[in-house]
Amino acid sequence: MIENVLPAIYLLASVGFILAVKWMNNPATARRGVIIGEIGMLLAVIGTLLRPEVVEYRWILVGLAIGSAIGAPLAYLMPMTAVPQLTALSHAFGALASALIGTAEYYKGEIPLGFPMGALVLESLLGFLTTTASIIAFAKLQELMPTRPMTYKGQNVVSLSMLTAAIVIGGWMVAAPAPTWAFPAFIALSMGFGIMLVIPIGGADMPTVIALLNSYAGVAAAAMGFVLNNRLLIIAGALNGSAGLILSIIMCKAMNRSFTNVLFGAFGQLAAAATGTVAQRPVRSATPDEAASILDSARSVIVIPGYGMAVAQAQHKIRELYDALTKRGIEVKFAIHPVAGRMPGHMNVLLAEADIPYDKLLEMDEINGDFPNTDVALVIGANDVVNPLARTDKTSPIYGTPILDADRARTVMVIKRSMSPGFAGIDNELYYMNNTLMLFGDAKNFVAGIVKELAGSH
């Protein structure tokens, strides 16, 4: 009986996943998308449990219970600023599941050589490397490890030879029965390569990496679909693989990197190559009350948040500033650079958390035309994404990177801890312009100071 119903259940689950991704295109339908995605997953799990070949339930149910018991508090207790590391951790678990299933299938010894074994090798390779790479990404995002890129001489040679060795052993397993040491060595090399892939990556490149790891996890699941001959896995994996891939391409474009650069994991080269020769030049600075009076007399303000806002947890204070300015009839908008923060769309989530309506959050292409007609551009914790050198200086390592045109606003105010250069290690021309005021201090405290002044002046 179930044999006849099962294809229908899997088909419905696939439809659920496709609709889930489709409905994510609009905040109004997105929550519906999550629900349909959950239903899809539930159908997939129930359908699988009902399959006649599944006879041993005890440990499966225990496993489902333990996974839920850890996953649910993790999702609810992590603060919103920790979403990037939670996503990385979640990737690690998903990928580990794929990798372990691949391992179990391999040792069952029933996978024929050729195409099925090739799929198994791909599944295990991507599974294991995504596991370790995601753990390293998690450690960097959680700052258990230094977030700066860690590089050494011959790094690419070491990484690529590990990958090559893993692929050679994998190829051997596909072509002929391999000796017993082959699979453990393959696992070790895959995991090692995963570590090597992320070690040289600096914090600001994390959005691309997380998107790419997302894609790998998807392709691993699709490869598992080929091993198990299960189309639901193929569809879900392919959806996820292309979602991750397209996001990492968007991130690459926003940083002016080539895609091959990403595929070979050669991130962070830029930062290593950039020289930190920063000349001491005079800047104009201002206090919170001066900043408040400038904002008070403005008619339009564009706020440009960056990772510094997340670090300082300044989003709630920014919301207060938004309220205070909006109440005065000042138009306040937010300009979001695609790679601001540590994962794609990171800033939007933080500002939404602070209850800022999402129709005020505008992407780069939408808002860049508005800067010349804007009284104040307020940069909070962003740096390289507003550096005008990217437009003008052909010798600059960030030349050609699309930026937010903050410098075209009538007045620019930059909240920043000190004059230290940003991730790319280059000086920001914006800070020395005549219409720029530097507001030195912690983003949260400084915004709080401005809000207090605004409240007092009324």
Catalytic positions: 384
Q: How far is CA 177 from the centre of its chain?
A: 40
Q: How far is the CB of 259 from other proteins (least distance, A)?
A: 14
Query: What are the structure tokens assigned to 195, written together?
Result: 């570590």
Q: How far is the CB of 366 from other proteins (least distance, A)?
A: 10
* Whether 371 contacts 408, CB under 8 Å: yes
Q: How far is the CB of 210 from other proteins (least distance, A)?
A: 7
CB burial string 204-220: b at 16+ within 10 A, e below? bbbbbbbbbbbbbbbbb
* Shorter beta-carbon distance to other proteins: residue 325 or 426: 325
Q: How far is the CB of 426 from other proteins (least distance, A)?
A: 25
* Shorter beta-carbon distance to other proteins: residue 115 or 399: 115
Give the distance between the most distant pair of CA atoms in the chain: 81
* Shorter beta-carbon distance to other proteins: residue 67 or 146: 67
Q: How far is the CB of 380 from other proteins (least distance, A)?
A: 18
Query: What are the structure tokens assigned to 83, written together?
Result: 């979403």
CA pair distance 336, 328, nearest whole angstrom: 24
Q: How far is the CB of 18 from other proteins (least distance, A)?
A: 7
What are the strands, taking DSSP E only, across 341-447? 361-363, 376-380, 411-416, 436-440
Query: What are the structure tokens assigned to 392, written together?
Result: 């003008």
DSSP assignment string, 246-297: HHHHHHHHHHT--HHHHHTT-TTHHHHHS----------B--HHHHHHHHHT
Which of 112, 104, 310, 340 has its CA nearest to residue 206?
A: 340
CA pair distance 193, 165, nearest whole angstrom: 10
* Shorter beta-carbon distance to other proteins: residue 76 or 152: 76
* Shorter beta-carbon distance to other proteins: residue 338 or 449: 338
CA pair distance 418, 439, nearest whole angstrom: 9
Query: What are the structure tokens assigned to 421, written together?
Result: 């250069």
Query: What are the structure tokens assigned to 166, written together?
Result: 């893993």
* Shorter beta-carbon distance to other proteins: residue 239 or 439: 239
Q: What is the 3-state secondary structure (H, E, C) of 442-457?
A: CHHHHHHHHHHHHHHC
